[in-house]
């Protein structure tokens, strides 16, 4: 049994996972892991997707790479998908949600165009990541959070820090 919490902030690209995850790590002392960075550092890829112009993640190798760290606890995992991770890894999952118009603007500013831009906005419209989380994890641990404004971000951070502190009290 872990003595420190594991968190998964997830959601469509552009919803604020990385900003939230890094700031949470600062406020809580938990370890922040960005799956894209981890994959890049360890070359944990299984080819290249020409249509989306990005490497294809080798999910099994990512899970193998992180499993020991996750069993120790104290980790915030940042990724736009969630069903590749074992259910036992996380104590709580936060699906960040952003208004479609804002998301479109954020992704455009990142250089997303065409099909990649459209598919990511559609993913948000159809709640794809939320549904994926609800299927992959116990419904009690999956929570949606609005992520439209700096005020939303601050409110989310405060809520998650409080939740983390309570979890630590309850489990130690």
What's the DSSP call for residue 93?
E
**Is 97 known to sit in a ligand binding site?**
no
Q: Is 128 annotated to bind ligand?
A: no
29 in a known ligand binding site: no
Which pair of structure tokens corresponds to residue 36? Answer: 């894209």
Q: Is 18 annotated as a binding residue?
A: yes
Contact yes or no for 80/36 (Cβ under 8 A):
no
Q: Residue 146 class from Cβ within 10 Å (0-12 exposed, 13-18 middle, 19+ buried)?
A: middle
Closest CA to 22 of 143, 157, 148, 152: 157
Strands 45-49 and 54-57: antiparallel
Positions at the binding site for ATP? 14, 16-19, 110
Q: Point out the annotated binding site.
A: 14, 16-19, 110
């Amino acid at each position: 049994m872990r003595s420190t919490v594991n968190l998964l902030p997830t959601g469509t690209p552009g919803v604020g996972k990385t900003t939230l995850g890094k700031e949470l790590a600062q406020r809580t002392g938990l370890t922040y892991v960005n799956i894209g960075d981890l994959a890049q550092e360890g070359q944990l890829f299984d080819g290249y997707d020409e249509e989306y112009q990005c490497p294809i993640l080798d999910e099994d190798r990512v899970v193998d790479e992180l499993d020991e760290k996750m069993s120790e606890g104290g980790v915030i995992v940042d990724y736009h998908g969630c069903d590749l991770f074992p259910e036992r890894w996380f104590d709580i999952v936060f699906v960040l949600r952003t208004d479609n118009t804002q998301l479109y603007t954020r992704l455009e500013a990142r250089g997303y165009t065409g099909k990649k831009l459209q598919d990511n906005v559609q993913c948000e419209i159809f709640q794809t990541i939320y549904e994926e989380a609800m299927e992959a994890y116990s419904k009690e641990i999956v929570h949606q959070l609005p992520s439209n404004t700096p005020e939303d971000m601050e409110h989310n951070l405060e809520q998650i820090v409080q939740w983390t502190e309570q979890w630590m009290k309850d489990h130690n």
